[in-house]
Amino acid sequence: MQPHESARGPHVLRQINSRAVLRAIRERSPARVADLMQATGLSRPAVTRAVAELRDAGLVADVDETAQVSMGRPAQWIRFRAEAGYVVGVDVGSHKVVAMVADLSGKVVASRQMATGERLLQSVRDTIAEALAKADLTGDDVWAIVVGTPGIVEESSGEVLLAPGIPGLAHLPVLDELRTITPSPVLIENDINLAVLGERWCGAAVGSDSLVFVHWGVRIGAGIIIDGKPYRGANGAAGEIGFVDVFSTPDGPDPEPLLGARAANAVSEKGAFEHAVGSQTIAELADAEDVAAVFAAATDGDPAALEVVDRIAARFARGLAALLLILDPREVIIGGGLSRAGETLLAAIDRHLRPRILTSPRLVLSDLGSDAVALGAVRRALDHAEQRLP
């Protein structure tokens, strides 16, 4: 038998049918056999056989017929068993760790937030363990864990190469530590790359195939979706716009190198764009204790606060325009701490941005707020967990 013939055998056809039926059940749960036949184009015997295999695998279950019957012979209703497995999405920040536990439908069943302690990996482990305990689960119930962290993550190895804002995280054995929690896969991803997945899944740009998410706080970074897929770049560094320098004059001094001799300190230093529009800079320009007070005053019409907001919006638009002219996204979502400034800031950005770009993407604020990274990690974990399905 030739090798390629094994890919055309009856067992492969059954797998294809099972996957099609399972997808239809997940989208319509609960569903009747007739519904599944219509959705998949398969015959009744093929659907019935696939349902039986999925039932044996613990992925589907029959619904109580008495609850579905109005008159006549009861139809067979099948539901997806979202409780057959669970995933964990984790957001590791400089001050806190958030863990969300979700079932296979994506429903979050438990979450836990803890302050980041001196022993970072122990903080992450404890947060995950407490979230699982809250859901009355163990590591054996988990199908995948995805951890979001600031900085550059090497995709194939999962090693954190640079971690801005969290000194000491780079090169730690994060995967080795977390793999002791569960026998299932553990993955690490840049936090902003996960945030854009979260917004596309259940946030401000559901289903968008052309999207930029900009995290704006003390740090600034962008997550990018191109043709429906995340774009990470050749080395996982795509979207690090905090280091973009659009403010130096042509005859000014050359900028200092970002890496090279400064590599040891790069994890804690800010880029030119972050210096220009970061939250600390906004507070300093307004001579205020924090940015929340600045935007509250601007919303109330304070002239000095409005001037600061306009100045910062102009700077932000200048840096953002450089990214948008290259990518031409359909939608731009602004998240992070400064997204809480609301329409006052958004309107100012829009006013300064339009003259600098050639097209007009939809510009909106994040719907998910501080949950974007953890929810994006849940989505990424679900995508990975689906590889275990038939």
The bridge status of strand 331-335 relative to strand 210-216 is parallel
pLDDT one-digit tens code per residue, 344-365: 899 999 999 999 999 999 999 9
pLDDT one-digit tens code per residue, 225-247: 999 999 999 988 999 999 888 87
Give the structural domain span for 286.
204-366
Query: What's the pTM value of the predicted model, to 2 decimals?
Result: 0.88
Would 125 be classed as within a structural domain? yes
Would 377 be classed as within a structural domain? no
What is the pLDDT averaged over residues 4-13? 62
The bridge status of strand 362-365 relative to strand 331-335 is parallel
How confident is residue 256, by pLDDT bands cut at 50, 70 and 90? low
Looking at the structure of the chain, the number of domains it has is 3
> In this structure, are 342 and 232 located in the same domain?
yes
Q: What's the burial of 58, exposed, middle or buried (CB within 10 Å: 0-12/13-18/19+)?
A: exposed
Q: Which residue has the higher pLDDT, 247 or 124?
A: 124
Secondary structure class of 153 (helix, strand, coil): strand
The token pair that represents 106 in the structure block: 């994506």
Specify the pLDDT at position 2.
46
> In this structure, are 325 and 360 located in the same domain?
yes
Would 371 be classed as within a structural domain? no
Number of alpha carbons in the 13 Å side-chain half-sphere of residue 135:
26
**Is the per-residue pLDDT at 308 higher than 60?**
yes
**Is the per-residue pLDDT at 67 higher than 80?**
no
> In this structure, are 24 and 142 located in the same domain?
no
Least confident of 54-68, 121-135, 211-225, 247-261: 247-261
